Structures are given as structure tokens and as C-alpha cells.
Amino acid sequence: MNINQLASTRSKTAAGKDSPKVKGLNRPGEVSESIKEWIAEQRKAPGDRLPQEPDLIKTFGVSKGTIREALKILETQGLVQTRTGPGGGAFITEMPAGRARALLATHFFFKDLSIGDIYELRMSLEPELAAELATRLGEPEIAVLKQTMVVYDHPPATIDEEQRQRIAELEFHERLAEFSTNKLLGFVCSFLVSLLKDLAVCRKIYSRPNPELRERGLSYQAQLIEAFQSNDAGAAASIMKAHMASAKRLMEAQEAIVTKGFLSWENHSR
């Protein structure tokens, strides 16, 4: 509970100009970093409360406004939430994966990612994921996967259903990512899927009929389920690798067609 060691990163009493730990960071930034360190050191868990504003003001030797801006940083980063009232204050929260994906997506907003870029990673990671899951997945998880597949186990009747089927195919992989015990691997895989769901080019592709993509995807995923049921990690990995290679080829072909005309990346409104 000794928060005072926190303020060690910046001693106000020192006569000369003390050097901030990280250059290019202003006061609120320093404070927010210090608070993060403190959370780690104190092994604070989500739900725990930070010291109250007056205490933080005293321990850091900064003004109320600075503390508020520091907390605003942490709040924006999804690390804390503040509440008013008695017993109120800043509470540690876990950043939801969806928010992290959204923040990350804004970073790639101007980066002009191609289908190939995305599938290069998927070809490396999804087989790894499949191999890990093959030895662990039980019937309940497999049932969830099968339930997702019923959305596209038949040819689409309308272009609208076509799109829904594409999204469902991607959600199959989202489920896999959620099942992973390696949170890092799971997050990256689900992020790649979310890119494929949201990118303008991809949405354009999904709005055109593409029977081969569905048939091949369904076939691969069915084989994958079998590999899971027989706990065959090697088979799962190689099936997934073939699945990704096939999808990459088909998607890139569609990408070429779609971008040939006029629109591609220009209308990323937000």
C-alpha cells in the first residue's frame, strides 16, 4: 500500500531541473506511466481502486488538472474507469479485445494493406493455431464450430446471403482464435479476421458471387473438424495451411478484379 515510492520518478523538491524518465513526454504522460508501473508492481487486478485524486496530487506533487489528464490517458487506453460518489475513484479495468482491435485498426487506416499482406500472416499463424487446438478441443467447442458452419453449408440464394456467409466463414476462425490458450496468438488471428471483415476491398469482394470460395472453404473446414475430433495436430495444421493458401489465391484474384475498375480504398469514412 506504500504509494509514496511512486513519486520517486520525479522529485519536485530537487533544486535543479530533474530529468523526466522519458523524453518527449509531458507531465500527464509521465504520471500515467508511473501509475502503470505502480499497478504492475503492486500486482493490482481489475476491480481494484487507485488512490483518490487528492492523494495522487500529493504523492506526485502535481496539480489536479494534471492528474485528471493522466487518468484520462489511462481511461482512453482502457486501463481504468472512474466513478463518482462515495467509494468512487479510478478503478482498474481490463481492456476489451474489441477495443484493442479498433485502436490497432486506426493505426493501419492509412497504411494501404493488401489482401496478400494479411494472408501472409494468416498462412503462418492459423496452422499454428489449429495445431494447438487439435489436442485440446472437446465436443462442446466443436459443436460451436459446427453451428457456425450451418450458415454457409448450402449455396446462397441471394447476394445478401452471400455476404452473410462470408462473414460467418470468418467467424469460424474467430471462434478458433477465442479458444486458443495463447492470448497473443488468439488476438493476432482475430485481428486479422476483423481486418478481413471491415476492409473496404474485402467488403467489395464479398458483395460478388464467389461459389468456389465457399465450397473450398467448407470442405477444408469440414476436414479440420475431423482432425480436431481425432486429435491430429499435424493434420489440422496442414489442412489449415492448405485452406489459407487456397483462400489467399481466390481472394487475391477477386481483389484484382475489384480494384481494376475504379473504387478501392478511397471511401474509408468513419
Does 9 participate in binding DNA (rule CB under 7 A)?
no
Contacts 24+ apart (CB under 8 A), 121-126: 121/188, 121/192, 122/189, 122/192, 122/244, 122/247, 122/248, 123/241, 123/244, 123/245, 123/248, 125/185, 125/188, 125/189, 125/192, 126/173, 126/176, 126/189, 126/240, 126/241, 126/243, 126/244
Cell readout for 234 is 499435424
Q: Does 33 bind DNA (CB under 7 A)?
A: no
Burial of 269 (0-12, 13-18, 19+ CB in 10 A): exposed
- Of 131, 209, 222, 138, the closest CA to residue 172 belongs to 222
Interface residues with a second copy (CB under 8 A) are: 28, 36, 39-40, 43, 45-48, 65, 68-69, 72-73, 76-79, 94-95, 97, 99-100, 103-104, 106-111, 113, 116-118, 120-121, 124-125, 128, 182-185, 187-188, 192, 200, 265, 268-270
Assess 85 for contact with DNA (CB under 7 A): yes
Residue 64 identity: K
CB-nearer residue toward a second copy: 39 or 168: 39
- Give burial (CB, 10 Å; 0-12/13-18/19+) of 112: exposed
* Among DNA, a second copy, none, partner that 108 touches (CB below 5 to 8 angstroms by kind): a second copy
Q: Which does 178 bind (CB under 5 to 8 A by kind): a second copy, DNA, none?
A: none
Contact between 83 and DNA by CB under 7 A: the answer reads yes
- Judged by beta carbon distances under 5 to 8 A according to partner kind, the member of DNA, a second copy, none in contact with residue 89 is DNA
Q: State the number of binding residues for DNA (CB under 7 A).
A: 24
Would you say 154 or 183 has its CB closer to a second copy?
183
Q: Which cell numbers in the block locate residue 180?
A: 486458443
Residue 2 interacts, among DNA, a second copy, none and using kind-specific CB cut-offs from 5 to 8 Å, with: none
Instruction: Look at the alpha carbons of 25, 26, 28, 30 in this order and tell me if their dihedral is positive or negative.
Output: positive
Q: Which does 27 bind (CB under 5 to 8 A by kind): a second copy, DNA, none?
A: DNA
By the rule CB under 7 A, 63 interacts with DNA:
yes
E strand or H helix that includes residue 89: strand 89-92
Q: Which range touches DNA (CB under 7 A), out of 26-34, 128-136, 150-158, 190-198?
A: 26-34
Residue 204 binding result from DNA, a second copy, none, given CB thresholds of 5 to 8 Å by partner type = none
Residues forming the site for DNA (CB under 7 A)? 26-28, 52-54, 61-66, 68-69, 71, 82-90
